[in-house]
Structure 1
């Protein structure tokens, strides 16, 4: 329990309020109202300022926790037969700047993501400011029929990223949001991309695919998840993802029937 409390780094309320005041000052807010979201997040304090901006506040301890998690993920990658490809950050503001750049890149590719505003440092904290999506639900909060309807869209967006040589690196159902776009249509929005080593796109693609299958299978079944993936990825790419499933299955943020997902991939292969 003490270790879990350590992982969930806290930031004093006074420092959070100071960040909210700085955000309001920078973007012309009339107040500095602050709402800290009740999220199971080990890498930032997610907040909403003035009901207009989604703000992730990152402290030194969040950077340390990210480094620990990165080491664990790289060990898992080694266990899957490949060189580790996750990279760590040196400072809180570097974490914020990376996510800002990743969000911009996704949007350039036509992948829906909250509109990026700015990343900056305030009193030693990294601050990431994004568009706030007030009417969103995480993908795993939808009824199974809706999850199945969005599954091909998830793989289409992933393939667009992978074809451009970028990976998400931390794909979970909580990091895929469903919210209205500018036209009012319900759309997938991708958040929380992490850093992956340059030149490791093939392994990172396979890992992203394994995470996507692990995220979808509990809600729509392994067969439907594999069928949706095959609309945008080749059988060879799914076989490459298969070798990461054991590693993904060990992660506490994924809970799926590993043997069943492997079996569905093998069934297609034969």
Structure 2
């Protein structure tokens, strides 16, 4: 618990308020409210400003924590028989700018994500401003009945990103939001991390493994693999299989890796 408290950096309320005032001023308003959101997030302090903008506030300690997590993930990648492909950030502003650009690239491909507005530095903090989705659930909060028609969309969007040479790098249920758009429930992808372009094929296989790990507990391994097979080849599924044990070590995934591997092998055969 002590270690988790060290990792979960906080930003004093006075500095958060200063960020909120800066954001509101940039859009021609005065600050009415800044509300930190309850989230198990070690890489930023997420807030809502004036019930209109979603703002991530990133401090030096968040950059440090990202570096520690990146090192751990790269060790895990080595255990899967590949070079590490996760990259760290030097400054809070660099973290904010990367997510801004990643979100823009996803939207350019037709992948839904909250509209990226800007990234800037304020009082030594990195600040990312995005569209605020006032009503959403994470992927693991929807019912099986609601999830079924969304699964194909998830793999279709992921494969679209991969075909364009983009990997998400941190795909899990908490980073796929379900929110209404034009009267229909729609998937929104958030919190992409940085991966090396020199190892994009490994990063894509890791993404696919993470998607299967997220969906297997919700759908069952057989249905998750079958849905993925509509958008990925047998060879790509087999590449993802190599990362499943590594993904299973992460505390944010809880699934039967052996069962998923078995379903991949049956599908590939």
- Which TM-score tier does this pair reach, normalised by the shorter chain? over 0.9
The two structures have a TM-score, normalised by structure 1, of: 0.98
Deviations 1:197-218 (A, max 9, x none): 0121110110000000000011
2: distance between equivalents of 1:252 and 1:162?
A: 25
2: distance between equivalents of 1:90 and 1:184?
A: 41
Q: Give the structure 2 partner of residue 76 of structure 1.
A: 76
- Secondary structure (helix, strand or coil) at the match of 1:121 reads strand
Deviations 1:130-183 (A, max 9, x none): 0000011111100122222211110000000000001000001000001122x2
- Where does structure 1 differ by over 3 angstroms across 4 or more consecutive aligned residues? none
Contact 2:21/2:30 (<8 A) preserved: no
- Secondary structure (helix, strand or coil) at the match of 1:196 reads coil
Structure 2 unaligned runs (5+)? none
Alignment coverage as a number of residue pairs? 269
Q: Give the structure 2 partner of residue 141 of structure 1.
A: 141
| CA shift for structure 1 position 29 | 2.3
Contact 1:135/1:180 (<8 A) preserved: yes
Which stretch of structure 1 is more off in the superposition, 253-262 or 143-152? 143-152
- Secondary structure (helix, strand or coil) at the match of 1:135 reads coil
Contact 1:148/1:224 (<8 A) preserved: no
- Secondary structure (helix, strand or coil) at the match of 1:268 reads helix
Query: Where does 1:82-161 land on structure 2 (aligned, <5 Å)?
Result: 82-161=82-161
Which stretch of structure 1 is more off in the superposition, 27-36 or 101-110? 27-36
| CA shift for structure 1 position 259 | 1.0
Query: Where does 1:1-270 land on structure 2 (aligned, <5 Å)?
Result: 1-181=1-181, 183-270=182-269
| CA shift for structure 1 position 32 | 3.4
- Secondary structure (helix, strand or coil) at the match of 1:199 reads helix
- Secondary structure (helix, strand or coil) at the match of 1:240 reads helix
- Secondary structure (helix, strand or coil) at the match of 1:169 reads coil
| CA shift for structure 1 position 269 | 2.3
Contact 1:145/1:220 (<8 A) preserved: no
Structural RMSD (CA): 0.8
